[in-house]
Structure 1
């Protein structure tokens, strides 16, 4: 209220105790010389605005008009001398100058005349003094334009959720008789946020994979493509929330979690595919089973009929869509399970000579070996694809780390520049 006088300064006594109430770093020696260490606090302290209500003086210095900011800076001038009285006078001013290099002053005339003050809360803006309204608008514009989001050391923006966690950390420290430390609080907050970031990213990956794997993929390659896209989005979710993960412990934890999830989805994908393939094969081989049960193939020429019917089943099976990654494996398993049936029919076929039976049996074994070789080649190709995508995933991961590191370095450089500007301003002001 009114002007800036010694009483106003005395009311800001807490400013002189800031370094007793909060520490910037955890090491005791880092905070031993509070005023000389003020640049550390400048990194995360807000800007300083002194608003003067019902200001009645004319803004003049040495008989000359001055601005509100010049008026403020004049009141913050230090007296020369070392007496206790001078020290008490200088201390709050010195603290404000050191801790808040960015300062602003606004004055407000009385919003209305004394007769209307009792109904001030009910008055419309049009009824207020026009000069007061204009001053209030200038104040609001300045706040909206210059105010930056709250940050912690490292330039990390504090969200509402993070602020709540910080408050809990500070209160717990104060209740235990300690002094809140920004560095320690940041580490504790990083632990909370990074753990939550891993969980959030993993949940996002799970959500996306569930959406995209409602049906089994046709190939293992298709599954890896889906995994890579979901992993990339999960990594973005993690990077958007995580910070201060200098040793990449939480990033490594996320990668392990996603790798484990990928294996689970590979198994789920295979199970869905296997069920689909077995259902198709049961349906397509139903007529063959009925003929076998009725001894249709137990006659001369029955073996050739059986082979033709089985080939028809295989052709129709290949024409079916949506069988998934286990299509070839399940067909091989199906054919293997029918080998004994085929051999029994072959041996009972009186139309074939022993030599023809031996040749047919050898051919069947050769086809079986060929199928196994094809499956082996497919498995090898799948492994190569997995290694390829693992490499691509690792490269994308490294790129994210690089970008994140560059952002952190930019924030750190910005903080350092702010600290240097503060020290320079204090040095120049001291010489003046």
Structure 2
């Protein structure tokens, strides 16, 4: 686990209106394997964004507050801290460059900063001062530009008729929205309604006007976007934190010097953000880790800098390629390093090698599943399993070779004294054949009793007996003590013994191959179960993503119906129906892209017959020596 950051660092630099990613920040993010909850604060400069973020970080200081009219934050700054509520998650706080900085004078640059905050966040906090009046809403014109600055689908996968309609699906992928009103000095009261809550105050400010006049259309546009794009809306109002004289040193004030109502509002804000903010996800519901988040920032900033429009679908594809390739490499590394221990013990029996293979193969695929996502067609999983099986076949060969070498060495050592006797002619005399057979049988007995020879013991003994049968035949023919009839009987016995050993070795090979085949079947079944669990997890993520969007649209529709906006409610009904159709379409695509490839894998990639033939050839190669 990566140690918490002691202070914020710049994530996205903004130099002369040009955005670029800070490589050091991405390197730091690469150390975080935990899911991230990303909270961004946006708003006009000198509105106190940094103070709120410091409170979220549980610190008095950190993000620069400044005490002058000059904007302190340039680009986007990041602070990663452990999530205070959810163990195993990292809270990523983003402080964005103040909008409307007079020194910058570049509204397009502001728009891209706002766009990045939306793209990267789980929760987006819009920070403003005073009240939520029409002027305040109009200042949030950046939200109306999002449809032009963000694409959901890539041009290649988007139908022509969807060009102007896809923005209604933003609600699936956009963050929760919080409006934080600073230095609020009014009473939360509305005419004819009396006392209202903060959320009711926000809803009142975002009410739409009836009528199709240009004036009403312009008035409704930013409000309509906020209502349609963000799945949830929340409002917090903060009174002045201290007297005007003390405001310039707010970060150094003791809590006793801060207005109690401000502290209470800050606590409520913090508690809500921590409880309501979800793990950042990509299109498709894929959870984002710190490492993926770093890649995501790079992808979006590079796209923006190139003059193109960021696309959520393309981002998922890019992230999936990066993560799946790394998952493949890490899974293979886990398998190979895990097999090193058993490799150091070569030769071992097949049961030992096979058991370790099954264990480490399972570990490798489990590690792959943890990191991989959107592996449609199982391209990367297939490559991992092929690499694992190839390495396993190599280990089988190496184990056989080690066994072969060890067995030959044992027989060579045991036969050495006997070989010296052959060279001296000790067996070239009457009765020599019987003596030779006695000594040879002793060698074989000692060899058979020798432990840890590996699975080539019978095959090497078969070759030994075949080789020595020629030698025995010569000694047999020169033994004058035996009659021709006895020699013929002994010769037949020699051939029978060699044939018996050949059958024994072949039987052993066939039993081992059958064992391998059965174990590969079990291993294959386990892999399929892992795949199905992974695919079901991803399917549920996609369904939940759409369910949340439908729920948000239905809540908005009910509110519009209550307030008499029948036409707008009917439009929402069409959008809800399209989202439901998208849900059905995703189920069909899931079957096409995931379930069907599982059948293909079962038939082709992990064909037991092919595995059987591969291992049979491997055995033959190791067993047959020139």
Give the TM-score, by structure 2 length: 0.65
- 2:163 aligned partner: 32
How far has the Cα of 1:114 moved from its partner? 2.5
Note if 1:184 corresponds to 2:314.
yes
CA separation in 1, counterparts of 2:336 and 2:279? Answer: 32
* Counterpart contact for 1:25–1:31, Cα < 8 Å: no
Q: Which has the larger share of strand?
A: 2
The alpha-carbon distance between structure 1 residues 112 and 279, as it changes in their structure 2 partners (threshold 3 A), is farther
Q: Which runs of 5+ in 2 are unaligned?
A: 1-128, 564-626
Is the deviation greater in 155-164 or in 208-217? 208-217
Note if 1:256 corresponds to 2:377.
no
Note if 1:14 corresponds to 2:145.
no
The alpha-carbon distance between structure 1 residues 147 and 264, as it changes in their structure 2 partners (threshold 3 A), is same
Equivalences for residues 2-151 of structure 1 within 5 A: 2-26=130-154, 27=158, 29=160, 31-34=162-165, 37-62=166-191, 64-151=194-281
Q: Which runs of 5+ in 1 are unaligned?
A: none
* Counterpart contact for 1:284–1:313, Cα < 8 Å: yes
CA separation in 1, counterparts of 2:408 and 2:402? Answer: 10
Task: Extract structure 1 runs of 4+ deviating beyond 4 A.
Answer: none
- 2:547 aligned partner: 417
Q: Which has the larger radius of gyration?
A: 1
User: Secondary structure of 2:386's match?
Assistant: helix
* Counterpart contact for 1:299–1:350, Cα < 8 Å: yes
Is the deviation greater in 373-382 or in 215-224? 215-224
* Counterpart contact for 1:284–1:317, Cα < 8 Å: yes
CA separation in 2, counterparts of 1:356 and 1:127? Answer: 117
CA separation in 2, counterparts of 1:216 and 1:294? Answer: 37
How far has the Cα of 1:218 moved from its partner? 4.0
User: Secondary structure of 1:50's match?
Assistant: strand
* Counterpart contact for 1:38–1:98, Cα < 8 Å: no
How far has the Cα of 1:176 moved from its partner? 4.0
The alpha-carbon distance between structure 1 residues 337 and 217, as it changes in their structure 2 partners (threshold 3 A), is same
CA separation in 1, counterparts of 2:304 and 2:410? Answer: 68
CA separation in 1, counterparts of 2:246 and 2:298? Answer: 44
Give the TM-score, by structure 1 length: 0.93
CA separation in 2, counterparts of 1:133 and 1:260? Answer: 63
How far has the Cα of 1:144 moved from its partner? 1.4
Equivalences for residues 28-427 of structure 1 within 5 A: 29=160, 31-34=162-165, 37-62=166-191, 64-216=194-346, 218-427=348-557
Q: Which has the higher contact order (CA 8 A, sep 6+)?
A: 1
- Say what the alpha-carbon RMSD is for the aligned residues: 2.1
Which whole-Å deviations, capped at 9, do the CAs of 1:374-405 have from their partners, x for residues lacking one? 11112221221222122222222221222122
Which whole-Å deviations, capped at 9, do the CAs of 1:339-367 have from their partners, x for residues lacking one? 22222222233322222222212111111
How far has the Cα of 1:236 moved from its partner? 1.0
The alpha-carbon distance between structure 1 residues 294 and 161, as it changes in their structure 2 partners (threshold 3 A), is same
The alpha-carbon distance between structure 1 residues 166 and 306, as it changes in their structure 2 partners (threshold 3 A), is same
User: Secondary structure of 1:106's match?
Assistant: strand
CA separation in 2, counterparts of 1:273 and 1:207? Answer: 22
The alpha-carbon distance between structure 1 residues 92 and 291, as it changes in their structure 2 partners (threshold 3 A), is same
CA separation in 2, counterparts of 1:247 and 1:401? Answer: 11
User: Secondary structure of 1:48's match?
Assistant: strand
